[in-house]
Structure 1
């Protein structure tokens, strides 16, 4: 069977209005298709007017203010539809889509599509460097942000929290990880299936840890979409 590393793949990232995927709105989206060697074949970028105020805390992260989004962004419903169509086309062709912390981005997409009355997106196959890193390097010390992991694997990330640069860094990171961990070298569909199990196990372990220390939390292990239903 052919590993995903030997085939074209896409990489995806959103910047949004907040951290809760059920309420966050898309501000920017990037979807980049690369060939087997990681060379960019084509890229799509979107700027949305989310239809709500962009909190100052979110704007400080990604640099897009409410005023800028209103002046230059496309209607939120149009962006959600176009991004979903682009993703859906890739998934229909069996092209894996890489997304760091995929359960956030694809859950935002799920809720945005529902918000505007569109059909849900079937997200398969998805490859998530965060879930995979937690599995292959279970006892790593310290943070596992995209910036931290990119630095550890020698991946260049000049403009963190811009959707295109974050998307490309996620692809470069996962490719670099595949050189170190043979387990990652497998067909995308098989790796997608494995990540469903890994994400659930990781959530269970985190929930058990929080329970032991008395921290109130409800950890959701659904992957790659947390519908909240």
Structure 2
């Protein structure tokens, strides 16, 4: 079994127009190639989704104004295509793709692809699987008893990772990769598994985490439902 944790990794982060992966759109994106948690290459994009507004609430988070995105961004379909091609190349090369809160970013990216292309994200690499490392999920699964919040910024503090700028796509992607590398280094059981086995373990852990969150929510809302699908939610009808 190869020492996949010592190889190059690719980390993805998207900053968007809102909180819905089904209907919101990419504003900025970054792919960061890392080795042992240290960035070695970076690609960033500013996207223009045409008539789609960038709400002031979203601008307050990532700092990109609607006018700037429309004037200077590449068409969002081209951005989505370039990201998908790079992710597919990583999968073909057998590299892990690090995505913090994967069901949000990967689902939103998949829906952007659906608006412009017929192929779902998980088919762009052909028969090669896209093996994902989600530091938020890994941290929860391997250290469930720890109290406190578990946002990416919280994990950076816990694992002593310097975060250069929360909600900046390049900084978030680099931080996610660094945290994931610290987690893999801290837990030998992960290094005893193949990359594919770690991916499959996260599929099960995501279900367990969703069930735990649903139980907690139902203390105050008996109808609460938490989706445990990971790393992305399959397509149904895509909002244009």
TM-score of the two chains, using structure 1 as the length reference: 0.94
Q: Determine the structure 2 residue equivalent to 1:196.
A: 203
Q: Determine the structure 1 residue equivalent to 2:126.
A: none
Q: CA offsets per residue over residues 45-99 of structure 1, 9 Å max, x none?
A: 1110122110111110000010110111001111111111111111122111001
User: Following the alignment from structure 1 to structure 2, what is the Cα–Cα distance between the partners of residues 215 and 53?
Assistant: 35
**What is the deviation of 1:150?**
0.2
Q: Determine the structure 2 residue equivalent to 1:222.
A: 229
User: Following the alignment from structure 2 to structure 1, what is the Cα–Cα distance between the partners of residues 118 and 66?
Assistant: 25
* Unaligned 5+ runs, structure 1: none
Which shifted more, 100-109 or 85-94? 85-94
Kept in 1, the 8 Å contact 2:95–2:131? The answer is: yes
Return the match for 1:151 from 131, 139, 157.
Answer: 157
* Count of residue pairs the alignment pairs up: 228
Kept in 1, the 8 Å contact 2:111–2:235? The answer is: no
* Structure 1 outlier segments of 4+, above 6 Å: none
Q: Determine the structure 1 residue equivalent to 2:171.
A: 165
**What is the deviation of 1:144?**
0.5
Kept in 2, the 8 Å contact 1:124–1:189? The answer is: no
**What is the deviation of 1:217?**
2.4
Instruction: Tell me, yes or no, if structure 1 residue 181 matches structure 2 residue 180.
Output: no
Q: CA offsets per residue over residues 89-116 of structure 1, 9 Å max, x none?
A: 1112211100111111100011111112
User: Following the alignment from structure 2 to structure 1, what is the Cα–Cα distance between the partners of residues 108 and 163?
Assistant: 23
User: Following the alignment from structure 2 to structure 1, what is the Cα–Cα distance between the partners of residues 163 and 38?
Assistant: 16
Task: Return closer, same or farther for 1:158/1:152 CA change in 2, 3 Å cut-off.
Answer: same
Task: Return closer, same or farther for 1:202/1:3 CA change in 2, 3 Å cut-off.
Answer: farther
Cα root mean square deviation, aligned:
1.5
- 1:166 partner SS: helix
Kept in 1, the 8 Å contact 2:21–2:111? The answer is: yes
**What is the deviation of 1:215?**
4.9
Mapping of residues 83-98 of structure 1, within 5 Å: 83-98=83-98
Mapping of residues 1-229 of structure 1, within 5 Å: 1-35=1-35, 37-51=36-50, 52-122=52-122, 124-185=130-191, 186-227=193-234, 229=236
Q: CA offsets per residue over residues 153-173 of structure 1, 9 Å max, x none?
A: 110012110000000000111
